């Protein structure tokens, strides 16, 4: 079964001259699954000729705006296209974000009473989240937000953040790291991965590559590129050959990886 990975946005916390914020569309047959919804994911899909109405589910890794802010516009685009056909949209969110997101969308008139399709807000839990047409999605908590706020006793915020594992009907497995706190957040995830979509903002390329050198991982595609590495693809590729001994792919907006 052919799987297409469309890179809609490959920047980290801020867009750069050539990268939008994080969003990846996984297309399998007639279905598309969106991993994060950094803006402008809907515009990117229009430009790339991707039928956003085929999106069955959106998986938000955590609530930073570079992973979430494209969601309202995606929903509006689906609605105004008039071509959703009433198919519900599943939106997987950190648990404490579900009801607040409903309220936020309501402020933009994106609600059950006005939309021609249902928004199903589903709180992310550790473990198997969804089995859809024999494609299995599971969530794995990581320390991305916890680490950022661990020394901030003055503020109280939810600290949920997740990586996702996607197993195809033929058992090939994709891991989408989302944002991590440390490479060891991936300890239970990466061995045996056929395609790793790995972030490169909260881990230095050399540290990620050294970590992966001892793991059984197939293809590696780097996303969520920190601005300091934005125009230094050649440097990352050189590190990869030196440390890792094989080629990796540095993600670019607008490219499709057939897997």
Smallest distance, Å, CB 192 to Zn ion?
26
CB 45 within 8 A of CB 81: no
CB atoms closer than 10 angstroms to residue 104: 14
Q: How far, CA to CA in Å, does 26 sit from each of 9, 115, 157, 166, 228?
A: 13, 25, 30, 10, 27
Cα–Cα distance, 121 to 94 (Å, whole number) = 10
Hey, which residues between 62 and 121 contact Zn ion (CB under 5 A)?
64, 66
Degrees, nearest 5: CA angle 225-231-232:
85
Residue number with CB closer to Zn ion (39 or 179): 179
Contact flags string 126-165 toward Zn ion, x per CB under 5 A: ----------------------------------------
Could you tell me which stretch among 59-67, 122-130, 148-156, 162-170 binds Zn ion (CB under 5 A)?
59-67
Smallest distance, Å, CB 176 to Zn ion?
12
Number of residues forming the site for Zn ion (CB under 5 A): 3
Smallest distance, Å, CB 20 to Zn ion?
12
Q: Does 39 contact Zn ion by CB under 5 A?
A: no
Give the residue, chosen from 27, 160, 179, 185, that forms a contact with Zn ion under the rule CB under 5 A.
Answer: 179
CA nearest to 240, candidates 216, 219, 214, 210: 210
Could you tell me which stretch among 45-53, 60-68, 157-165, 249-257 binds Zn ion (CB under 5 A)?
60-68
Q: How far, CA to CA in Å, does 85 sit from each of 81, 109, 205?
A: 10, 19, 43
Smallest distance, Å, CB 240 to Zn ion?
22
Residue number with CB closer to Zn ion (79 or 182): 182
Please state the φ and ψ torsions of residue 131, each to the nearest 5 degrees: -125, 115
Smallest distance, Å, CB 111 to Zn ion?
27
Sheet containing strand 162-167, edge to edge, reads 127-132, 135-141, 162-167, 173-176, 193-200, 217-225, 249-250
Interacting residue ranges for Zn ion, rule: CB under 5 A: 64, 66, 179
């Amino acid at each position: 079964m052919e799987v297409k990975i469309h890179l809609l946005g490959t920047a980290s916390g801020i867009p750069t001259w050539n990268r939008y914020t994080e969003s990846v569309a996984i297309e399998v047959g007639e279905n598309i699954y969106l991993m994060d919804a950094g803006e402008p994911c809907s515009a990117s899909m229009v430009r790339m000729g991707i039928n956003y109405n085929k999106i069955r589910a959106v998986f938000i890794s955590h609530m930073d705006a570079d992973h979430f802010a494209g969601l309202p516009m995606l929903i509006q685009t689906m609605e105004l296209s008039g071509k959703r056909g009433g198919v519900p949209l599943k939106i997987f969110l950190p648990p404490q974000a579900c009801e607040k997101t409903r309220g936020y969308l309501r402020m933009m008139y994106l609600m059950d009473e006005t939309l021609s399709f249902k928004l199903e807000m589903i709180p992310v839990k550790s473990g198997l989240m969804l089995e859809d047409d024999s494609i299995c999605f599971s969530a794995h908590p990581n320390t991305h937000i916890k680490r950022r706020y661990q020394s901030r006793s003055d503020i109280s915020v939810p600290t949920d953040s997740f990586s996702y594992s996607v197993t195809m009907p033929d058992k090939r497995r994709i891991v989408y790291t989302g944002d991590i706190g440390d490479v060891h957040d991936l300890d239970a995830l990466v061995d045996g991965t056929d395609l790793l979509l790995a972030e490169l903002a909260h881990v230095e390329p050399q540290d990620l590559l050294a970590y992966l050198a001892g793991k059984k991982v197939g293809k590696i595609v780097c996303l969520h590129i920190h601005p300091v590495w934005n125009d230094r693809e050649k440097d990352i590729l050189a590190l990869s050959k030196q440390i890792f001994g094989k080629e990796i792919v540095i993600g670019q907006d607008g490219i499709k990886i057939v897997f």
